[in-house]
Structure 1
Amino acid sequence: MIRRRPGRVRRALIRLLAGATVGALAGLAVAQAAPSATAAPAGSAVTVAGRGEFKDMRFTVDRTSHLTSQAIKVSWTGGTPTTFAGTSFNTDFVQIMQCWGDDDHSVPGNPGPPRTQCQYGASPTTDRGNWPGNQLDDTRQVFYSADPTNYGEDNRYGAAQPPGVPGEVPFKSVTGETVTTNTQNNRFFNHNTTNEVDFARTGANGHGEEYFEVQTANEAPHLGCGAPVSQNGVTKPRSCWLVIVPQGRLDLDGKPYADHSQVNAGSPVSSTNWQNRIAIPLRFNQVGSNCPLGSDERPTTGSELVADAVTSWQAALCPSGKVYGYTELGEPDTRSRLGTDKTFGLGFTTRALGADDGTSAPSGTTTYAPVALSGAVIGFTIERRPKAGAPEDIRKQAGTKVESIRLTPRLVAKLLTESYRNSTWGSVLGGKAAHGYGWAKNNPAGLASDPEFIALNPEFAYLSVAETPATDTDLMTALGHSDSARAVWQWILADKEARQFLSGVSDDWGMRVDPYYSTNADLNPSGLAFEPAHVDEYPKSDPWCTVPPGTDAPKDARQCMTDFHPYVDDMHAGALHTRRADTLWKSTWDPLSNPPAYRSPGPQTVGSRFVITVTDAASAERYGLQTARLRNTAGTFVAPTATALTEAAKSASGKDVAEITPANAKAKGAYPLAQLVYAAVRPGSLKADARADYAALLRYAAGAGQVSGADPGRLPDGYAPLSRTLRDRALRAADALLHYKGPHSTGGDSGSGGTGGADTSGGTGDGSGGATSGGTSGDGGTGADGGASATPSAQASYDGGKAVETTAAGNTPADPANPLRYAVPVGAALGAFAGLGAPFAGGTRLRLPLRVPLPGGRTVTVVPAFTLPERLRRRLP
């Protein structure tokens, strides 16, 4: 029997009335603040079938809409295993390219672009000894034939050439400029910039997979993908095409190639091969700003860990009149500037001001709001190249990607300290070590041959890796100071084995640390101990310099460690170059250049790529990198999944900003390099309108900005949504900004918001750092507008450059078909309806006072704080 408590109906009526009122007003407010365009759902996977010889093949692209500069996965089934002529691809492989333009009507039933408008054919022009192409299948060269019967022959181009001399299929840019000769290294794209996939292997099981780097108009302006185009008064981002050309083993007369000993494949843009092409439309987010002209920009600066999230949020906030610039800056520098520069605005950090060695928190109020949960990762592109005599199951996987590896803190320490024998390239030759490098003589050549690594990743005992500075002897790292670098070193120091290795103790197999990184001053040639506890960068301390062996360079053309292992600008760049398998090492001496110099050989050869990097989880996801499982304090190897990031966040602690430290992330499922990112603001230095705008950003970040998804405005892959506790803390920080009443605040603050120091609680077991810190004393001065500029920044500051400009989809605010005219009445009606249902939703305490955000960062108090009579109170969980 159910007992009904006295007054239950009365309480339900009260909650019903409050819920309906709040719902209606909230619906109205949301309608007023709604952006002028709504984003379409994220693109789903597309699967298409081949034709003719390839009719049994099925090609799947995992994402085809809402694209920006990123990697998408192309996979296929039902193929015939690839064959080789020596080391060159011979038959049954796949080629992939990106193209622009309208349907050329060349393949009935499968619309696609003209072959002259495809970015393809930029293979190496020199040093092709290890390149697996025949200079036809990897270029735009074709042989003319009025009635072509062989792959690579063409019925149009090359007719003016003498017999036996190839012609070239022209390339036409979106601007109309056309290249007709020397297309292999043309002014629009070359071997170092093209995204074409010349050779993708089909495995023994008929399956294949390749990650394809999609390029927008910023990276490939000659394709123009994502650039705004207007048609019939409507402006939309330009769509493009992904084109797949399978190469087979039959001539067009249906008979097999007669000679299997030679390479038979021809150019995929020849008229014969083009008949087999499969074209899939690609739809892009608009490149460039979708912000209203003339809007003031509120600058935000700081941690790269939040870059992809802020870029996404910008796209959703711009149409509603909120313009937020973003400039990447290392967290230590961000904290320094935020504490001293009164025009700084909002900074993103993982630590509180004053947390760095030799610094102290500034006087006055600093407001902190948790906005993102992500972390540093070890990302990689590794392909299997079996050794002679490898087991059959390993040999069948030749050319496929390694999906996962396990790494310990000591293994990462070995990579970061340049301790592998071939890291100091040329220091050990023919079994003889250079002076001072006897320590390297008996060390493994690289990670792939390290017994510790093989014990954790057994298949590498059967894989062949060219262990050079361009592969497995070091990690590609970013230049500069960052909290991510600090977290990596803190993770290393939390491990006893790694600490012992750094101090000079050999590992179980006799490997020794490069003494220039020894924490034992007696072993370190510099006479000083390396102190990773105070390091927030990736130093290259070894002074080794030499002429790289085998280059035939003159004696004065020496290279040093920053040449062998170049820095990248940031973690985003590390992910991009790892996807391209390009370590940036200029390893080839060119005596014919003016002046003679080293040059880059470009990306590594397909089938034997091996590049590893320290990057962030969002960039790794963006470019489709595989990521390592790292051993945490509990001894568990954990991947950087959203669940593992969330588990790590539970261990966060600290007074004003709760930090995740690797040593304290002791749960078995906690990812050790997870980091919470906070927005930090000095409200005493800002005018009321700037504080209101930053409060609006925090509200969005804590609300819709925590919904995972690919649409603009959502939380991209590589982030874990914040817990309810953290989101509530961010909202309270937004309130603290909005209602700040310090002695130097200016402008018309409204409401009775608190003063500084409203919430200085420490961590609560879920990573919830304090919302504000400091007292109410001002910072001096009369306040600043946050450094706003009249127009939004056109370019993001982190590497990839214009690749990460604010992107947005949908109509512009001036669209005459703007659905916003229905937003107010419909929003209010839906709000009232939602209010009626609110009392029955349950599960959440109604927090008072209840404020509803309005456009411009303003709020209205809908339900003030009050105390119910004792008889109406109910104990809530």
Structure 2
Amino acid sequence: MSPHEAGAARRRRGLRVYCAAVLAWTVSFMTALVLLPPGAHTIATAHADASSVTVAGPPVWIPATQTTGAKGSVTVSQTENLVDQMVHVSWTGFTPSTHGSFVVFGNSNGGNWNAVGYPVVVYECRGTDPKITDCYGGFHYGQDPTAGFQLPSESAGLQAPDFPSNVVAAVTRGDGTGSADIEMYTASQSPTMGCDATHQCSIVVEPNYGGDALGFSTEDGSADCTYHDGDTGLSGAATGAEYETVGASGFEDGEQCAWNQRTVVPVSFAPVPAACPASATDVAAEGMPMLDRALTQWVVGSCLAGVDPVTVQYSSDLTEPEARADFLQGRAGADVAFTSLPASPTAASARPYTYVPLGNTGIAIAFFVDDPKTHLPITSMKLNARLVAKLLTQSYDYENFVGAKSDTASVAGNPGCLFKDPEFIALNPTNNAFTWPTCAAQDGSEPIVAGGQSDLVRELTTWIMSDPDASAFLSGKPDQWGMHVDSFYKTSVYPYPIDSFVAQDASGPPVDPGTGLPYDPQGTHRDYNRLKGFEWNPIQAGLDAVARSLVLQTPTCILQNYEAPAGHAKCGPQNLGSRSLIAIMDSGRAAAFSFPTAALANGTGAYVTPTAPGMASAALDYVTDPKTGTQSLPWGVGHTGYAGDTAAYPLTVPNYAMAPTSGVSAAKATDIAEFLTAVTDSRSGQLPGNQPGQLAPGYVGVTPAQAQQAGAAIAKIRAGAAPGGAPTTVTATGPVTGQPATSGNVVVTPVTTTKNGTASVSYITSTIGSGDAGANGGTGSGGSGSSSKGAAGPAGSGGPTHSLSGSTAAAALGSVSADTAGFGRLILPILLIVGLVLVAAGPAALLLTTGAAGAKLRSLWPNSARRFGR
């Protein structure tokens, strides 16, 4: 064998050693993935919908030459598996609009709205080949389809008999492009349209390219859509989006020419709970409105499962505190309670239970804010905890104005609204690219929020209080620009965190701010001495009503002036192009309705929006309360994974199901376990998508630590249904004499496990506020991890924001501290280390089989030739 051939043989042997190492690493890694529970190696993220459709539009009208050109195009962002959500519609190659930059369909108040030439109208319509009488919110909706446009004025309520009108009017830019967002109503919102899984509907895009629809140019008053001489005049059909003018025929036929240019895009809808077969309910569940859009898909997927469906009756109108109370009392409608926070330790429980992680959601601050100069929407905004605190405490002086003779003492000297706050301006510079709104309207930027007790409010206000600047502001310390908290909200009289939003300030100027004189008891200003009470009114109808108010651009304020005999009317909707609205809701609704959302400051000072990557990153930073097994972000605690995570969205919260481990029938326990298994399975409930059974947009799936806990908890639920003895009950207990105890940053929690009457004690060790322990859900002895709801953090950290002795401990009477992970959690890290060693060994082996370096090393080891196969 030649030296060259011998060298090649040696290299091949070395390569085989390296390949063997890589193969061993691959096998090890894949084994880890197989051994981990479903979903442990996947984190659900949102993705673009694959059902987006682009179709040809009408030929463009060219006013300058009075001719038509090439066809335009229309794109609809999603056309399948629609629910009650917003859909983005865009177009290219359309005639640019003139004489204005925005329009509002059906609204000619507050300006010359109908002076916009060549607007575009977007409808949701019944069927895939709709007539004008099938389009919701149109002036002909619900009338005789055989009459075409020869229809009289519509009857009251005929345009939108079920729900508010969702028709949208928009403009086309100078380059021929434009867009609009339209809410798609299902049969639940509009029974008269009836759009559901078995009844398709359509999106109709209708450009108004002019023509004489009203018959002004014809002797018999019939439409002539080829006549364009009057397009830009006051009587021209291409002017305005309302089509209300009654033509010479005496009918409302002004839309006929525009309808001739329509583009129709058929759309289909996902099944809704009403599509489930009528049968006895297997599982009754309630709670966590923040989770309801995900639960709707899960519930429908469960009932439509082919082999052995589980029917779940879910009540989303009950908040988490109500659901936890019903569950602990064992009420019939609460077999399962959905929650973000754990139950109170002082509440008695009718049965043992466990917490099953289902995924994660976010608390979002959505907004509609328009540039007052261009009337275009502003799509980005940064807020920190102190700015959010200012909004929620009515601390802006909306009622003060230039030349005012009197001011409201509780907010005197403060900026007139968020957009004039120096802190907000410093955080959100415009760089002359756009302009923030003025403070002209009293409803300015007071947030639209849901009333009633909820975990959303508790989590949000806890986050606020974890911030040193926000906490100091609420205590009465002005910010560096001199703004102070509304005196009615100082924590000395109204301590944060809170469970529900309740307006505290109903004061006002002592005398008429316009004249400086005492109030006329019969005048329109008679109630100005309580102006602050008109500013802000939390909505009692829940998060759906919050989203609906934002969709309809309607603030929750009440008009200041008293108008006899009705009194004070509610504030009306703001006009598109001059909006200044902010609303607080969950990320599921924000995603479904495509609301712009504010970027919030996280533990590193980075500003992050509630996207899937941001929430997924934050979920990996959760720390675990050893008393309950529930997780949360360690707001305000240093030396944690969250404190160094620039990508984390700060208002990310976990979703749990409180489920019984005994005390229900075997059939009920099995149904609960089957439903939760499907929800937490990476192949179904954790798979992002719009189909029944999948994870809805706006949520992210369980982390590996959560998947481990979910698997153990579901196994315990199943064990409660198994024959052959009493179920296993796990209860977090206090310190045991002579056994390990809490010391410094180390918390040791004894856990008593009783099976068939025999008790044994094990210990969960957790590290709080030290290094990066627990950054990914915890890897301490017993696998619990550090806790944001535990003992004090390091000096100067501001301390924890959730107390172990507060509402985080497990309920009494044999209730369950959520199952903690054991050795299974260590499988992947161990195998990763082994794999890295093998990867390193491969190249090393190759190095030692050839070359001068290998020869020198082998000379130091007499048996190296034999050991390396030579």
Q: Scaled by the length of structure 1, what TM-score is found? A: 0.67
Distance 1:87 1:9 in 2: 73
SS at match of 1:458: coil
| Equivalence map 1:27-106=2 (5 Å) | 43-53=51-61, 55-84=70-99, 87-88=112-113, 89-101=115-127, 103=129
Distance 2:54 2:572 in 1: 31
Match of 2:692 among 700, 703, 712: 712
SS at match of 1:484: helix
SS at match of 1:691: helix
SS at match of 2:378: coil
Q: CA deviation at 1:486?
A: 1.5
Asked whether 1:451 is paired with 2:422, we answer yes
Q: Is the 8 A contact 1:756 1:774 kept in 2?
A: no
SS at match of 1:684: coil
Match of 2:388 among 397, 401, 412: 412
Residues 688, 440 of structure 1: alpha-carbon distance in 2 compared, 3 angstrom cutoff: same
Corresponding residue for residue 239 of structure 1 = 200
Distance 2:674 2:525 in 1: 61
Corresponding residue for residue 261 of structure 2 = 276
Match of 1:676 among 640, 645, 654: 654
Corresponding residue for residue 369 of structure 2 = 382
SS at match of 2:368: strand
Distance 1:488 1:661 in 2: 13
Distance 1:191 1:466 in 2: 36
Distance 2:335 2:124 in 1: 40
Corresponding residue for residue 351 of structure 1 = 341
Distance 1:175 1:602 in 2: 36
The one-character-per-residue Cα deviations of 1:692-748 (angstroms, maximum 9, x if unpaired) are 1111121111101000011111101111121233223212111101102xxxxxx65
Q: Is the 8 A contact 2:351 2:663 kept in 1?
A: no
Corresponding residue for residue 803 of structure 2 = none
Q: Is the 8 A contact 1:97 1:196 kept in 2?
A: yes
Corresponding residue for residue 690 of structure 1 = 668
| Identity of matched residues, % | 26
Q: Letter of the 2:358 partner, please give it.
A: V
Residues 93, 561 of structure 1: alpha-carbon distance in 2 compared, 3 angstrom cutoff: same
Residues 465, 337 of structure 1: alpha-carbon distance in 2 compared, 3 angstrom cutoff: same
C-alpha root-mean-square deviation of aligned residues, in Å? 4.4
Asked whether 1:117 is paired with 2:80, we answer no
Residues 4, 408 of structure 1: alpha-carbon distance in 2 compared, 3 angstrom cutoff: closer
Residues 410, 47 of structure 1: alpha-carbon distance in 2 compared, 3 angstrom cutoff: farther
Distance 1:179 1:493 in 2: 62
Q: CA deviation at 1:200?
A: 0.8
SS at match of 2:430: helix
Q: Is the 8 A contact 2:349 2:813 kept in 1?
A: no
Corresponding residue for residue 565 of structure 1 = 536
| Equivalence map 1:395-794=2 (5 Å) | 398-422=374-398, 426=399, 430-434=403-407, 437-459=408-430, 463=435, 465=437, 467=439, 471-519=443-491, 521=492, 529-533=493-497, 535-544=498-507, 553=524, 555=526, 563-568=534-539, 569-587=541-559, 596-600=566-570, 602-653=572-623, 654-655=625-626, 656-664=629-637, 665-666=642-643, 667-703=645-681, 704-740=684-720, 749=723, 754-757=728-731, 764-767=774-777
Q: Is the 8 A contact 1:366 1:774 kept in 2?
A: no
Q: CA deviation at 1:754?
A: 4.3
Distance 1:299 1:443 in 2: 49
Q: Letter of the 1:532 partner, please give it.
A: Y
Q: Is the 8 A contact 1:312 1:712 kept in 2?
A: yes
SS at match of 1:490: helix
Q: Is the 8 A contact 2:446 2:535 kept in 1?
A: no
SS at match of 1:669: coil
Q: CA deviation at 1:619?
A: 0.5
| Equivalence map 1:2-21=2 (5 Å) | 2=16
Distance 1:777 1:439 in 2: 47
Distance 2:544 2:411 in 1: 32
Distance 2:608 2:179 in 1: 25
Distance 2:524 2:93 in 1: 48
Match of 1:219 among 166, 186, 189: 189
Q: Is the 8 A contact 1:249 1:256 kept in 2?
A: no
Corresponding residue for residue 306 of structure 1 = 291
Q: CA deviation at 1:294?
A: 2.6
Distance 2:338 2:763 in 1: 19
The one-character-per-residue Cα deviations of 1:250-293 (angstroms, maximum 9, x if unpaired) are 66446554756787526566222211111111211245523333
Distance 2:811 2:468 in 1: 41
Corresponding residue for residue 857 of structure 1 = none
Distance 1:443 1:77 in 2: 46
Q: Is the 8 A contact 1:472 1:612 kept in 2?
A: no
SS at match of 1:57: strand
Q: CA deviation at 1:660?
A: 2.1
The one-character-per-residue Cα deviations of 1:417-475 (angstroms, maximum 9, x if unpaired) are 101111xxx466842334xx235343221112222212222239753635366753311
Corresponding residue for residue 331 of structure 1 = 320
Distance 1:181 1:760 in 2: 79
Residues 352, 173 of structure 1: alpha-carbon distance in 2 compared, 3 angstrom cutoff: farther
Corresponding residue for residue 170 of structure 2 = 200
Corresponding residue for residue 303 of structure 2 = 318
Q: Is the 8 A contact 2:287 2:338 kept in 1?
A: yes
Q: Is the 8 A contact 2:366 2:590 kept in 1?
A: yes
Q: Is the 8 A contact 1:306 1:372 kept in 2?
A: no
Residues 294, 333 of structure 1: alpha-carbon distance in 2 compared, 3 angstrom cutoff: closer
More relative contact order in 1 or in 2 (CA 8 Å, sep 6+)? 1
The one-character-per-residue Cα deviations of 1:197-231 (angstroms, maximum 9, x if unpaired) are 1x3122344332221011122222222222xxxxx
Q: Is the 8 A contact 1:244 1:277 kept in 2?
A: yes
Q: CA deviation at 1:383?
A: 2.4
Q: CA deviation at 1:502?
A: 1.5
Corresponding residue for residue 127 of structure 1 = none
Distance 1:81 1:760 in 2: 71
Q: Note the residue ranges of structure 2 that are not aligned, 5 or more in a row.
A: 1-13, 39-48, 62-67, 101-110, 213-224, 244-253, 515-521, 732-752, 754-761, 767-772, 786-807, 816-830, 835-870
Corresponding residue for residue 739 of structure 2 = none
Residues 470, 317 of structure 1: alpha-carbon distance in 2 compared, 3 angstrom cutoff: farther
Q: Is the 8 A contact 2:142 2:158 kept in 1?
A: no
Residues 470, 172 of structure 1: alpha-carbon distance in 2 compared, 3 angstrom cutoff: farther
Residues 5, 210 of structure 1: alpha-carbon distance in 2 compared, 3 angstrom cutoff: closer
Q: CA deviation at 1:494?
A: 2.1
Distance 2:228 2:474 in 1: 64
Q: Is the 8 A contact 1:171 1:179 kept in 2?
A: no
Q: Is the 8 A contact 1:73 1:212 kept in 2?
A: yes
Residues 184, 42 of structure 1: alpha-carbon distance in 2 compared, 3 angstrom cutoff: farther
The one-character-per-residue Cα deviations of 1:848-877 (angstroms, maximum 9, x if unpaired) are xxxxxxxxxxxxxxxxxxxxxxxxxxxxxx
Residues 119, 729 of structure 1: alpha-carbon distance in 2 compared, 3 angstrom cutoff: same
Report how many aligned residue pairs link the two structures.
Answer: 662
SS at match of 2:662: helix
Q: Is the 8 A contact 1:755 1:776 kept in 2?
A: no
SS at match of 1:224: coil
Distance 1:300 1:483 in 2: 17
Q: Scaled by the length of structure 2, what TM-score is found? A: 0.68
Q: Letter of the 2:687 partner, please give it.
A: V
The one-character-per-residue Cα deviations of 1:778-835 (angstroms, maximum 9, x if unpaired) are 68xxxxxxxxxxxxxxxxxxxxxxxxxxxxxxxxxxxxxxxxxxxxxxxxxxxxxxxx
Distance 2:348 2:776 in 1: 24
Larger radius of gyration: 2
Q: CA deviation at 1:756?
A: 3.4
